[in-house]
Amino acid sequence: MRYILKYLKPFSRRLTFNMILKVFATVIELALPRILSYILNEIISPLEGQTAVDTRAKALEIALYAVLMIVCAALGVAGSIKANRVSAEIAKDAAGMIRHDLFDRTVRLTPAQTDAFTVPSLESRITSDTYNIHNFINSMQRMGVRAPIMLAGGLAVCATMDLRLTLVMAAVLPFLFVAVYTITSKGLPLYTKVQAAVDGMIRVVREDAQGIRVIKALSRRDYEYRRYECENRKLARIEVKTNSIMAASNPAMNFFMNLGLVAVVFFGARLVNGGLSKPGDIIAFIQYFTMISMAMMGVSRIFVMWSKASASAGRVAEVLRTGEGLPVMSEEGSPRREGEEGIVFDSVDFDYAGTSGILRGIDFSLPRGGKLGIIGATGSGKTTVVSLLMRFYDVSSGSVRIDGRDVRTLTRDELKNRFGAAMQNDFIFAGTVAENISFFRDIPQDRIERAARIAQADGFIEALPDGYAHELSSGGTNLSGGQRQRVLIARAIAGDPGILILDDSSSALDYGTDMKLRRAIASEMSGVTTVVVAQRVSSVMSCDLILVLDGGRIIGSGDHASLLRDCPVYREISDSQMGGAFLE
């Protein structure tokens, strides 16, 4: 929680003003029962035996004090309203800063770090966890200032009126504190489990929303419903347990409050009968005890919110404190290779998340402007090679170099500006076609249209009702699979990259369109280094170097002709595609 509270430092002046305003409003409110006690004890009680003139004078005095009570009540309400508005503004701004920094850190996480947190958990932290923090900051300013002042101030005023009744009232308060502390200490760990269960439910909802077409096509709706219901019940069980424990605070508070109220009335009546106290004081004590009890209930609610916010703050801080997963290395540890150009994988091994042998002994070099094709069965490590090239992950041993420099020595901007990538799991956001291609990189319209033309997307784009200004839905659901892929390829091309990555990005294209795409890239991007990851031989057969992967190892490398002659696996893939390799 301390890490999160640092976000309140920029609002110190507003917090101070708000605290002063809240103190003023609370002190004014505390004065009301004392004024009422004075009216009852000093003005109304002595009225018996008074003359008519004295009675009118007393009535006027009562009216004046009544006006004073109305003014105090109005000032208290006005101060509280203003303070609550300031509290809401501070909470909104502070939560906005937290949410901004959390989102910024989230998008900067490495793929390995994202995998460790999981996407549903990150979504939950940005939404529900920051919401809990927002509520806590807001409530803490409202009740966190008022409740302690009401508690301490009420006891102080009562002590000036009757110390004996004050001691009777104070004797109940330790029981209230113990009850609140015991309940909160048991409830706090459970809120962390609640948020973890929320992560699980969000994961299922996210997966089902993304795969709804497949679910319907395979008639797996009942299965997914049961899977969701399982996560929903898990969340419900832990929420019921948590809320059952935390809900015990209010009944416990009410019990001790009523017990204290009965004690005040009982002992107060005895004191009044003995002439040791006045009726006005008893009425004031009852009002003060009610105020103090409400303040204690406010403290109880603060503890509940603190429990939620503390669990959420820990989850948020966990992301914010996450360091750079892939720090830039010094060139002293991996010197630059002068005169070396293009892409080089030098004895690269890669292990991931406790799984060894993802890649082993990957060795190849591709000159600048060359074309590399990577083909192999699912799970053979094709995308992993591309991920290491773009430094989504770091090699376990060996090195990956671009123009003689180890990718680990390049800054994020230096590295990413070299690439244009259309990956197999890329996304289309809700926006125009042009916005999806430019991806907010301030790319001129002529370059957007050129990229679309190379990607073979210009034809269908111009046929859309608004052309490049046509609005696409989230995920590009109002486009066909092949159209989505061509928009994504155009996005990769539009930035004029030095290295173009096409990772299984043309799988939804027919052979004719795929052939036109490859010819357009070859003719209009001849100086660009191209890496093509594909399942089809036709997509890689024109490459200068083709790697055949199996089980994370290179089992064949060379051009199309040499692989047909020397690599049985490649030849088998080519033959199984019924002449797909010979469409050129």
pLDDT-based confidence at residue 53 (cuts at 50, 70, 90)? low
So what's the pLDDT on residue 354? 65
Reply yes or no on whether the pLDDT at 581 is more than 50.
no
Torsion sign across C-alpha atoms 339, 345, 348, 350 = positive
So what's the pLDDT on residue 559? 92
Q: For residue 375, list its beta bridge partners.
A: 534, 548
Reply yes or no on whether the pLDDT at 272 is more than 70.
yes
So what's the pLDDT on residue 371? 93
Tokens of 127: 């939404």
So what's the pLDDT on residue 584? 43
pLDDT-based confidence at residue 135 (cuts at 50, 70, 90)? confident
So what's the pLDDT on residue 579? 54
State pLDDT tens for residues 144-200. Answer: 778 788 878 877 877 777 788 778 777 877 877 777 777 777 776 777 788 778 878
So what's the pLDDT on residue 48? 56
Q: Residue 371 in contact with residue 543, Cβ under 8 Å?
A: yes
- Mean pLDDT over all residues of the chain? 84
Q: What average pLDDT does this structure show over 459-484?
A: 88
The reported pTM is: 0.70
So what's the pLDDT on residue 249? 72
Q: Using the CB atoms, write b or e for 364-390: b if 16+ within 10 Å.
A: bebeeebbbbbbbeeebbbbbbbbbbb
**330-418+498-584 and 2-320 share a CATH fold:** no
Reply yes or no on whether the pLDDT at 425 is more than 80.
no
pLDDT-based confidence at residue 254 (cuts at 50, 70, 90)? confident
Q: Measured between alpha carbons, how far is 304 from 249 in angstroms, rounded to an integer?
A: 9
Q: Measured between alpha carbons, how far is 372 from 379 in angstroms, rounded to an integer?
A: 19
pLDDT-based confidence at residue 553 (cuts at 50, 70, 90)? very high
| Long-range contacts (CB closer than 8 Å, 24 or more residues apart) made by 349-352 | 349/395, 349/396, 349/397, 349/398, 350/384, 350/388, 350/393, 350/395, 350/396, 350/552, 351/396, 352/112, 352/393
Q: Of the given ranges (247-251, 335-339, 476-480), which has the lowest mean pLDDT?
A: 247-251
Tokens of 142: 């409202």
Q: Which backbone phi and psi does 356 adopt, to 5 degrees?
A: -95, 155
Q: For residue 245, list its beta bridge partners.
A: none
Comparing 439 with 159, the larger pLDDT belongs to: 439
Torsion sign across C-alpha atoms 572, 573, 574, 577 = positive
CATH class given for the domain over 426-496:
alpha beta
Q: Which CATH architecture has domain 330-418+498-584?
A: 3-Layer(aba) Sandwich (3.40)
Query: How many beta carbons lie within 10 A of that of residue 8, not counting itself?
Result: 18
Comparing 86 with 209, the larger pLDDT belongs to: 86
Q: Which residues have C-beta within 8 Å of that of residue 281, sequence separation ≥ 6?
A: 37, 41, 161, 162, 165, 268
Nearest 10 degrees: Cα torsion 220, 225, 227, 232: 170
Q: Measured between alpha carbons, how far is 539 from 534 in angstroms, rounded to an integer?
A: 6
Residue pointed to by tokens 């409830």: 187
Q: Measured between alpha carbons, how far is 279 from 267 in angstroms, rounded to an integer?
A: 12
So what's the pLDDT on residue 512? 85
Q: State how far the alpha carbon of 271 is from the alpha carbons of 258, 501, 516, in Å.
A: 20, 89, 101
Domain 2-320 of CATH type 3.40.50.1100: no
Domain ranges of the chain: 2-320, 330-418+498-584, 426-496
3-class secondary structure, 516: helix
High-pLDDT (> 70) share of the chain, % = 95
Q: Measured between alpha carbons, how far is 348 from 402 in angstroms, rounded to an integer?
A: 14
Reply yes or no on whether the pLDDT at 524 is more than 70.
yes
Q: Measured between alpha carbons, how far is 421 from 114 in angstroms, rounded to an integer?
A: 19
State pLDDT tens for residues 555-578. Answer: 999 999 999 999 999 988 888 874
Q: Using the CB atoms, write b or e for 427-439: b if 16+ within 10 Å.
A: ebeeebbbbbbbe
Residue pointed to by tokens 């102080």: 156
Q: Measured between alpha carbons, how far is 28 from 80 in angstroms, rounded to an integer?
A: 11
Tokens of 339: 């005169």
State pLDDT tens for residues 368-396. Answer: 999 999 998 888 888 899 999 999 889 99
pLDDT-based confidence at residue 580 (cuts at 50, 70, 90)? very low
Torsion sign across C-alpha atoms 285, 287, 293, 298 = negative
State pLDDT tens for residues 306-354. Answer: 777 888 888 899 999 888 778 888 888 788 888 888 999 999 999 887 6
Q: Measured between alpha carbons, how far is 546 from 559 in angstroms, rounded to an integer?
A: 6
So what's the pLDDT on residue 189? 74
Q: Measured between alpha carbons, how far is 109 from 319 in angstroms, rounded to an integer?
A: 9
Torsion sign across C-alpha atoms 456, 462, 468, 469 = negative
